[in-house]
Amino acid sequence: MNPYIPTTANDRAEMLRAIGLESAAALFADIPAEIRLADGLALDAPKSEYEVLAEASARAAKNRPAAQMPCFLGAGVYDRLVPAAVRPLTQRQEFLTAYTPYQPEISQGTLQAIFEFQTLVCSLFGMDVANASMYDGPSACAEAALMAVRHTGRRALLVSALLHPEARAAVDAYAQFNGIDIVTLPEKDGITDKDAAVSALLNNENVAGVLIQAPNFLGVVEDLRPFAEACHAAKGLLLSYTADPAALALFESPGAMGADIAVGEGQSFGIGMGFGGPHLGLMAAKQPLMRKLPGRIVGETVDTRGRRAYVLTLQAREQHIRREKATSNICSNQGLNALTMTIHLSLLGGSGLREVAEQSYAKAHFLRDRLAELGFAPRTDAPFFDEFAVRLPVETALTADALNAKLLEKSFLGGYALGEKEWLVAVTEKRTRAEMDAFVCAIKEALS
């Protein structure tokens, strides 16, 4: 008996009789004989739950998960603390096993949670309106690019060289298939070259906007204001990407610095690293762009008795209504992960998030100083949040990869190799002083 299929042999016989068919095979009579599978699928035999769990555990045991090592690897995915209350709530079946909230009367839980999520996203980003989520940060960047092109009718986008490579890849792919030109804005001393942006905007009237990551891929906090001014003077849009919005507890929001569309990655907020997914795409915009947003949006309204209620709204933008004229093809998004972020930030509160950010900031600055003592020169002196790029000491023959390999032997997950001799190191609130001291010791040994 298959544990997930309740139909008994008696049921089957009775049901077939009720519909006047001889056998279950007759149900598939419309499938042409030449494509009917005669021998079944080339899969294993069914297994018990216990056997499958054992197989899964054996595979999991072959891994050495970052979360169980002192992890100094970030580059867009961060090893942060997650309150224990998050998972039991997101595992509640009413959230976990519900569909998209198309029937508001029995979906107020999901709808209100999304409404609260939209409020949090707007607040963090300093924006007016947010949608119910995108797949992840990189795909949100790509959708933001399409949105800017749609809004302006222009077909070029200036993209910072310091945009996360995964995000850049997604933007490139979406752009290529939509005939959008991507022009790279070069780096200058760890930040995006403002002069290059200004001159590109002046010389090309086909520029829909500028996409800047802040903090950028090197961890450096970018001042978006000059880009906003240049964009707006040219009647283009400023697009910002925040790969780790924990930074926004301390640093000025993209909205306040002039961004028109703000996208981000919400993995830092209660969503595990999970080998890269599923994570959480965030997207918000200023009011005039509200009806250009892709994806689902929840609005507040009232029911027939005048009580506060929530409902999916502005659906005339979406694929199930507008088909090929929709603002995007997105249907399923990241509902449960949006809920995760909402619960996570509710538990932390403003004070808790601020402490997460301040601890991360302080610890990262502490470690960078300690590494400097070992001869790791900062790649730039520009202000950073909790991730920083350094050059390996000139006297070592080690590459960043080789250094990481030596550190792994001692059960440390080292930084991201930016090249042979450059290293991107992340320090979250989860790292302890003892771990950082041990990390520094291990590096010293590796270098000697």
Partner 1 sequence: MTYDYDKTIFELSAEGKQGYRLPPVDGRQGGGRQDAAPTNAPDTLRNVGAACSRPPEIPVIPESLRRAVPPLLPQVSEPEAVRHFTRLSQKNYGVDGGFYPLGSCTMKYNPKVNEEVCALPGFAGLHPYQPAETAQGALQLLHELGEAFCAITGMDEFSLQPAAGAHGELAGLMIIKNYHASRGEGHRKTIIVPDSSHGTNPASAAEAGYHIVQIDSNADGTVCLAALETALADGDIAGLMLTNPNTLGLFEKDILKIAELVHAAGGLLYYDGANLNAILGEARPGDMGFDVMHINTHKTFSTPHGGGGPGAGPIGVKAHLSEFLPTPRVVKDGDAYRFEDVGPNSIGKLRGYFGSFGVLARAWTYIRTMGAAGMKEVSEAAVLNANYMKEALKGPYKLPYDHVCMHEFVLDGLADAAEGVKTVDVAKRLIELGYHPPTIYFPLIVHNALMIEPTETESKETLDAFLAAMRQIADEAAKTPEVLTAAPGNTPVTRVDELRAAKTPKLKWEEVS
Q: Which of residues 50-79 bind partner 1 (CB under 8 A)?
A: 52-53, 55-68, 71, 73, 75-77, 79
C-alpha 195: how far from chain center: 30
CB nearer to partner 1: give 20 or 153: 20
| Cβ pair 332, 356 in contact under 8 A | no
Span near partner 1 by CB under 8 A; candidates 47-55, 195-203, 205-213, 389-397: 47-55
Q: For partner 1, which residue of 199, 202, 206, 350 counts as binding (CB under 8 A)? A: 350
User: What is the torsional sign of CA 430, 432, 438, 441?
Assistant: positive
| Cβ pair 213, 240 in contact under 8 A | yes
**Footprint of partner 1 on 296-335 (CB under 8 A):** 296-305, 307, 309-311, 313-316, 318-326, 328-335
Q: For partner 1, which residue of 208, 238, 353, 390 counts as binding (CB under 8 A)? A: 353
Look-up of token digits 């990481």: 404
Number of alpha carbons in the 13 Å side-chain half-sphere of residue 287: 0
Span near partner 1 by CB under 8 A; candidates 104-112, 185-193, 194-202, 228-236: 104-112
Token pair for residue 77? 């995915």
Angle (deg, nearest 10), helices 225-233 and 194-203: 10
| Cβ pair 277, 136 in contact under 8 A | yes
Q: For partner 1, which residue of 244, 387, 422, 429 counts as binding (CB under 8 A)? A: 429
User: Is position 101 an interface residue for partner 1 (rule: CB under 8 A)?
Assistant: yes
Token pair for residue 408? 């792994």
User: Is position 203 an interface residue for partner 1 (rule: CB under 8 A)?
Assistant: no
Q: What does the alpha-carbon distance between residue 390 and residue 374 come to, in Å, rounded to a whole number? A: 11
**Footprint of partner 1 on 108-167 (CB under 8 A):** 108-110, 112-113, 115-116, 118-120, 122-124, 129-130, 132-133, 135-139, 142, 146, 164, 166-167
* Exposed e or buried b per residue across 250-270, where buried means at least 16 C-beta atoms within 10 angstroms of its C-beta: bbebbbebbbbbbbbbbbbbb
Q: For partner 1, which residue of 336, 341, 392, 442 counts as binding (CB under 8 A)? A: 336
CB nearer to partner 1: give 122 or 234: 122
CB nearer to partner 1: give 92 or 235: 92
User: Is position 392 an interface residue for partner 1 (rule: CB under 8 A)?
Assistant: no
